[in-house]
A and B are shown apart, each in its own frame.
Chain A
Amino acid sequence: MDPANTKAILAEPSGAAQATAKERRDFIHWLGRILRVREAFLVVILLVMIVVMSIVEPGFRSSANIRAVLLGFAMEGIAVIGMTMLLVSGGFDLSVGSTMALSGMVTAALLLKGTSIPLAIVAGLTTGALVGLLNAWIIAKIGVNALIATLGTMTIVRGIALTGWQGQPVINLPDAFRGIGQGVLLGILPLPAFILIVLTIVFDILMRRGRWFRQLYFVGGSEKAARLSGINVTHVRMITFIAAGLLAGVAGIVSTSRLGAAYPNSYEPVALRVISGAVIGGCSLFGGEGSVIGSVLGLLFIALILDILVLLGVSPYAQGIVQGVALILAVVVDIWSKRQAARA
C-alpha cells in the first residue's frame, strides 16, 4: 500500500470524529438559541405533551377530545390576539369576557327577532367595538390606569348583559347561524379553529411587519419616547382598544354560534386565562414585548394542560392550582433566561 494513502486513511477517522463533535456542539448551540425564542420553546413543549399523552392516554387522541380542546381554545384564541396587541402597547383588558358575553347576547337577541344573520353579526361586532371605544376613551383620553378602568368596565358590561335580558339566556338560535360555530372543515377542523388560524397568521404578520402595528412596540417600550418620536400615542392606544373590543366581539359571536345560545353570565374566567396565556407566550405586562403566535401557543399550552388534567381524572377544583403554577413558572423562567442572556 502506498504510505501516503495509508496516512490518509488513518487520518480520516479522527478528522471525521472531530467534525461530528463540532457538529454536535454547533447543534447544541443552535438548539439553545432556538429554544430561547419563546415561540419555538413552546412548540417543543407542546409537541412533547401531545406525543406523551397520545401514548399514555388513548382518550387524548380521540377525535372527540381533539375537537373539544380546539373549540374551547379557538374562542379564547381569538380574544388573545386582541390582548396581545394591548399588552405589547402597554395596555391591559379585564373586560374581554364581559365583552364576549354582551356581543353574543346582542347578536342572539337580534337573530331571535328575525334580523338577518349578517346584520345581527355586524351589530354584535359593533357592540364589541363600542366597549373597546369606551375603554379607549377612559384610558387613552382621560388617563385612567388600564387595570382600574377595565376592572370597572368588566362589571359594567357584565351588568348590561344581565339587566338587558333579566339574566336569562337567549336560546334556540337559527340553524344557519349555528353553522358558523358548528361547521367542520376537511372532516376534522372545526370552523372556529380555522377562523383562529387565519386571524393568528394575519395578525402575527401585521405585528411583525406592519408599519402601523410596529408603533405598538414603541408605545409599549417607552410612551414618552414614542410621543417625542412623533408617534400619536393617544391615537394608537385608542385604536388598539377598539380592535381588541372588536376581536372580543368576534370571539363572543363565534362562541354563541357554536353553543346555539348566548348566556349573559358566561366567559367569566376568559380574561385571566387569556392574559395568562399571553404572558406564558412571551408578552410583558410592562409592554414592548410579545407576539401573536407566542400568545396563541401560550393559550394552547393552558388549554392542553387543563384537558390533560381532566383526562387524568384530576379534580376540576385543582385545575386553577396548575394553571396558576404554570403562569408563575413561565414568568420565572423568563426572568432566569433574561439574566442568562444579560450575562452572555
Chain B
Amino acid sequence: MKGEMMPNDDIMLEVRNISKAFPGTQALEQVSLAVRKGEVHAILGENGAGKSTLMLILAGVHQEDSGEILLEGNPVEIHDPHHAQTLGISMVHQDLSLAPSLSVAENMFANRQPLTRLGMVDFPKLYRQTREALAQFEIDIDPRQPVRELSVALQQVVEIATALSRKAKVLILDEPTSALTAHETAILFKIIRRLRDQGVTILYITHKLSEVMEIADRFTVLRDGRVVGTLETKEATEDDIVHMMVGRELSQYFPDLGEVTDECLFEVRNLTGRTFRNVSFKLYKGEVLGIAGLAGAGRTDMARAIFGADPLLSGEVYLNGQRVEIRSPADAVKLGLGYVPEDRKEAGLFLSLTVRENTVAAGLKLFSNAIFMDHRKMLLAVTDIVRSLDIKTPSLEQQVMNLSGGNQQKVMLAKWLVVNPKVLIVDEPTRGVDVGVKADVHQLLRDLATRGVGVIMISSELPEVLGMSDRILVMREGEIVGEISHADATEENVMSYAAGVQV
C-alpha cells in the first residue's frame, strides 16, 4: 500500500479516476493516465471521446467532478488557466487565442511585459525578450509585427513560444499541425523533439495517425469518455490505433477513383490576383482536382478569387465553354459554383443559427416562393440531407455551435449539396475532423464527382491529396508549378514541386 503512495520520480503528471459530467453527457468516466517526464504522449480518440475535456481540466479551464491530479507526485487542484500556468502546465488551443491587432511581442508577454522604473512598458526589452524566445524556432518574425499579418502557421509558432516562455513543464498541444504545411510540421516536430530532450513533457492531441507514429513516445486512446489503453508507439501499428479509437475495423483506403470524362466543365485562363499569377487549368466533368502546396502558396486566395470573394486583377473564367464574369460570391452561386472555406467558424458557418438555417443559407430561393419561405419543402430537404450525410444533431433546430467539428464540417457541405452545384471548391475539407468523418467526407466528394460535379479540393494533407485526386496541381509562390496525374503522384514529387527542390 505504501509503495503505491510513493512519488514515482519518472512520472511528471498523473490523473487518477477523473470523472466529469456535463448535463446530458458523461464526458469523462474514471479516467486514469500517467505521463512520464520528458515524453511526447499523444492523446487520441474520435471527436467527443473526451480528449479535449481531459486536456481542458489539466489546463484549468474545466474542473473535474471527482478524481485527483498529481503533479510530480503531489496532489494539486487546478483552479483556473492562470493557476495551471503557474503550476507549469500550458496549453496551446486549436483555435488560436491571440489579439490580432497587437504585436507579436505584446501577445507573447501579455500581462507580464517588462516594465521601466516608471511602470511603463519597456518596449526595447520586450522586443529583445521576444526575439530570444522565438530564436530557437529558426523562424524570422518581427516582434513588432501585428499578429494578424502572420500566417496561421506562424501564429501557431507564436502561441507555442508563448507557452514555453512561461517556463512550462507540461505543454499541451491541441492539434497543432491542423493549419500547418508539411514543411512547417517538420519544423514543429524538430522543436517538439528538442523540448522533449530538454525534459519538457508534451501532451499531444491529434487526429493524424502518421504524426503519432512519427513524434509520440507513447499514446493513450480515449473512447466515449473512458481510457481504452496506453501503449508504446513502437509496439503499435496504425491499424491497431484505428481499431482502438473506433472500436471497429475501418478502411484506411480512399474511395475508388471514378471515370473522368474528357468534357471540360470549368476552365480558368491566366488568372492573376494579389497573391497569385497566371493560373490556368481545366476541370473535367467527374473529376476531383487536387490542389497541393505549402501554406501561403496562394491556393486559398486563388479559390476565393474564382468564387468572387476577392477581386481578380485579370484572367478569364469559363463554365461549360461559356465565358462568365464572377464579381461576387452571389454571382458564383447563381452560376452553380460552391465554396467550402477552410475557416469553419468564421467564414463557413453561422454559429448562432440552427442546423436547418445553415443548410438552406445558399438556397433560400430554392425553398421559397417569391416572398415567403416554404417551410415544408425546407424541412423535407434538410431532413433528407442530414440523414444522408449522417449529421449527428439532436434536432434540426440545434445551433451549429453545439455540434462537433466533424458534424459542423458536414453541415457546411450540406449547405452546398442542397443547391446541386456544378462545381464545388473545398478548402481543407477534413481539417480537424476525426477518422470516421474523414472517410465520410472523402466518400461524399467522390460520389459528387461520380454524379458529374467538378470537385476542386485544396488540401495540405499529402495522403488526402494523393488518395483522392484524379489529377494534382501543385502551387508555389502564387503559381502553378506542376501537374501530376493520379498514377504518377507520390509524396516525394508533390513535395518537391511544392517546396521547389529537386528530388
Residues of A within 8 A of B (CB): 206, 209-212, 214-215, 217-218, 221-222, 224-232, 288-289, 343-344
Contact = CB atoms under 8 A, between A and B. Distances in A.
B24 A225 contact: no
Contacts of A211: 364-365, 368-373
Contacts, number: 82
Contact of B362 (A209, A230, A289): A230
Interface stretch (B29-37, B105-113, B339-347): B339-347
Contacts of B332: 230
B21 to A, nearest CB: 11
Given A210-B371, A228-B341, A230-B334, A221 B352 contact: yes
Given A225-B347, A231-B361, A217 B353 contact: yes
Given A211-B368, A214-B373, A217-B357, A227 B329 contact: yes
27 contacts: A206-B371, A209-B373, A209-B375, A217-B350, A217-B353, A222-B346, A222-B350, A222-B351, A224-B347, A225-B346, A225-B361, A227-B309, A228-B309, A228-B339, A228-B341, A228-B347, A229-B333, A229-B361, A230-B332, A231-B329, A231-B330, A231-B364, A232-B328, A288-B350, A288-B352, A343-B23, A344-B24
A225 B22 CA distance: 30
Contact of B329 (A210, A217, A228, A343): A228
Contacts of B347: 222, 224-225, 228
Contacts of A217: 350, 353, 357
Given A224-B346, A344-B24, A230 B373 contact: no
B350 A226 contact: yes
A229 B415 CA distance: 8
Nearest to B24: A344
B349 interface: yes
Contacts of B415: 229
Contacts of B346: 222, 224-225
Interface of B: 22-24, 307, 309, 328-330, 332-334, 339, 341, 346-353, 357, 361-362, 364-365, 368-373, 375, 415
Contacts of B349: 222, 225
A211 B360 CA distance: 11
A206, A229, A288, A343: which has the most chain B beta carbons within 10 Å?
Answer: A229
Interface of A is mostly: helix
A341 to B, nearest CB: 10
B270 to A, nearest CB: 25
A226 B372 contact: no
B22 to A, nearest CB: 8
Contacts of B352: 221, 288-289
A230 B372 contact: no
Closest 8 CB pairs of A and B: A230-B333, A221-B350, A211-B368, A229-B361, A224-B347, A229-B362, A232-B330, A209-B372
A219 to B, nearest CB: 10
Contacts of B369: 211
Given A227-B329, A229-B362, 20 more contacts: A209-B372, A210-B371, A211-B369, A211-B371, A214-B357, A214-B364, A217-B353, A218-B350, A218-B361, A221-B352, A222-B351, A224-B346, A224-B347, A225-B350, A227-B328, A230-B330, A230-B332, A230-B333, A232-B328, A288-B350
A230 B418 CA distance: 14
A289 B357 CA distance: 13
A283 to B, nearest CB: 13
B385 to A, nearest CB: 15
B330 to A, nearest CB: 5
A288 B350 CA distance: 9
Nearest to A284: B352
Nearest to B23: A343
B24, B309, B339, B350: which has the most chain A beta carbons within 10 Å?
Answer: B350
A288 B330 CA distance: 20
A228 B348 contact: yes
Contacts of B339: 228
Contacts of B372: 209-211
Contacts of B350: 217-218, 221-222, 225-226, 288
B359 to A, nearest CB: 11
Nearest to B349: A225
Contacts of A288: 350, 352-353
Contacts of B333: 229-230
A212 to B, nearest CB: 8
Contacts of A221: 350-353, 357
A22 B181 CA distance: 59
A218 B333 CA distance: 16
B152 to A, nearest CB: 16
A287 to B, nearest CB: 9
